[in-house]
Structure 1
Amino acid sequence: MKDILIIDDEPEIRHFLSYLLTQKGYHVTLCKSGRDFYQMLPELSVDLAMIDVKLPDASGLDLLKQLKQAFPACKTIIMTGYSTVKTAIEAIKLGANDYMEKPFDQIEEVEALIEHLLDYPEAPGDADIQHLVGKLGLIIGESEDMRHLLTLAYKIARKNINVLIEGETGSGKDLLAQFIHQASRRADSPFIAVNCGALSESLLESELFGHEKGAFTGAVKSRKGVFEIAHNGSLFLDEIAEASSATQVKLLRTIETGEFRRIGDEELRRTNTRIIAASHVNLSRAVEENRFREDLLYRLEVVKLTIPPLRNRREDIPLLVKHFLNVHQSSLIFSDEAMKILMDYSWPGNIRELSNVVKRAITFAEGEVSLMTPSYLPEKMNNSPILLENQQLDQIKGSPLESYIDNWKKGIVQLWESENETALDEVLLRVKELEVEVGRAFVTKAMKETMGNRKAAAERMKISTRQLRYLLSEKS
Structure 2
Amino acid sequence: MANILVVDDEKEICLFLRHLLSDKGHIVTICTSRQEFDQTKNDGTFDLAFLDVRLPDGNGLEILKDLKSIQPFCKVVVMTGYSTVKTAVEAIKLGAYDFIEKPFDDIGDIEQLTERLLTDGAVPSQDHVHDLAARIGCFIGQQEEMNQLFSLAYKFAQKNVTVLIEGETGTGKEVLAHFIHEASLRADYPFIGVNCGAISEHLLESELFGHTKGSFTGAAKDRKGFFELADKGTLFLDEIGEASLTTQVKLLRVLETGEFMKVGGETVLRSKSRVVAASHVDLHNAVSKGSFREDLLYRLDVVKLTIPPLRKRVQDIPLFIEDYLRRHGFKLMFTEETLELLMSYNWPGNIRELVNVIKRAVALAEGETSIITPEHLPQKITQHAPGVLETAAAISPAVPKSTGFDSFLDQWQQEIRDMWKSEDITELQLVLDSIKKLETETIQAFIDKSLRKTVGNRKKAVEGLGITMRKLRYYLNEKK
Provide the TM-score with structure 1 as the length reference: 0.79
Matched, 1:231 2:209: no
Letter in 2 for 1:28: V
Name the structure 2 match of 1:377: 377
Q: Secondary structure at the match of 1:197?
A: coil
- Per the TM alignment, residue 22 of structure 1 is displaced from its structure 2 partner at its CA by 1.7
State the Cα distance separating 1:41 from its structure 2 match: 2.0
Q: CA deviation at 1:121?
A: 4.9
Q: Label 1:384 to 1:122 Cα distance change in 2 as closer, same or farther (>3 A).
A: farther
Alignment of 1:178-197 (within 5 A): 178-197=178-197
Instruction: For 1:367 and 1:280, locate their aligned partners in 2 and report how far apart those are by CA, in whole Å.
Output: 39
- Distance in 2 between residues matched to 1:260 and 1:28, nearest whole Å: 45
Choose 199-208 or 321-330, whichever is displaced more. Answer: 321-330
Deviation per CA, 1:227-252, whole angstroms, max 9, x where unpaired? 11112111100011111111111111
Q: Secondary structure at the match of 1:43?
A: coil
Letter in structure 2 aligned against 1:120 = D
| Whole-angstrom CA distance in 1 between matches of 2:385 and 2:208 | 42
Residue type at the aligned position of 1:362: V
Equivalent in the alignment of 1:328 = 328
- Following superposition, the deviation at residue 175 of structure 1 comes to 0.7
Q: How far did 1:296 drift?
A: 0.6
In structure 2, list runs of 5 or more residues that go unmatched: 387-480
| AA of the residue aligned to 2:73 | A
Q: Which residue of 2 aligns with 1:460?
A: none
Post-superposition CA distance 1:328-377 (Å, at most 9, x none) = 31111111111100111111111111111111101101221222111110
**5+ long unaligned stretches in structure 1:** 387-476
> Do the aligned partners of 2:345 and 2:385 also contact (CA within 8 Å) in 1?
yes
Q: What is aligned with 1:203?
A: 203
Query: Is 1:117–1:124's contact at 8 Å kept on the other side of the alignment?
Result: no
- Could you tell me how far apart the structure 2 residues matched to 1:125 and 1:231 are? 30
| Aligned equivalent of 2:343 | 343
| d(CA) in 1 for partners of 2:195, 2:322 | 30
Paired position in structure 2 for 1:285? 285
Q: What letter corresponds to residue 11 of structure 1 in structure 2?
A: K
Give deviations 1:31-74, integer Å, cap 9, x for gaps. Answer: 11100111122223111111011111011111000001111111
Question: Separation in 1 of the partners of 2:316 and 2:154?
Answer: 21
CA shift at 1:127, angstroms?
A: 4.9
Determine the structure 1 residue equivalent to 2:89. Answer: 89
Larger Rg: 2
Instruction: Tell me which residue corresponds to 1:34.
Output: 34
Question: Hey, what does 1:439 align to over in structure 2?
Answer: none
Partner SS state of residue 42, structure 2: helix
Quote the Cα distance in structure 1 between the aligned partners of 2:272 and 2:350: 34
Matches within 5 A, 1:112-191: 112-121=112-121, 123-124=123-124, 126-191=126-191
Q: Say whether the 8 Å CA contact 2:357–2:377 is kept in structure 1.
A: yes
Q: What is the DSSP-based 3-state SS (H/G/I as helix, E as strand, rest coil) of the residue aligned with 2:304?
A: strand
CA–CA distance in structure 2, aligned partners of residues 127 and 377 of structure 1? 34
Conservation of the 8 A alpha-carbon contact between 1:346 and 1:385: no
Give distance in 2, aligned partners of 1:11 and 1:206.
49
**Partner Cα distance (1:178, 1:6) in 2:** 35
Asked if the contact 2:341–2:385 (Cα under 8 Å) also holds between the matched residues in 1, the reply is: no
Contact 2:162 2:302 in 1 (8 A): yes
Structure 1 pair 315–123 and aligned structure 2 pair: CA distance change class (3 A): farther
In structure 2, the residue matched to 1:397 is: none
What is the SS of the residue equivalent to 1:194?
A: strand
Q: After TM superposition, give the deviation of residue 82 of structure 1 in Å.
A: 1.8
2:216 pairs with 1:216 = yes
Q: Provide the alpha-carbon RMSD of the alignment.
A: 1.4
> What whole-Å deviation, never above 9, does each CA across 1:177-208 have from its counterpart, x for those lacking one?
01111111111111111111111111101101
Q: Secondary structure at the match of 1:42?
A: coil
Q: Partners of 1:123 and 1:375 in 2: how far apart? A: 48
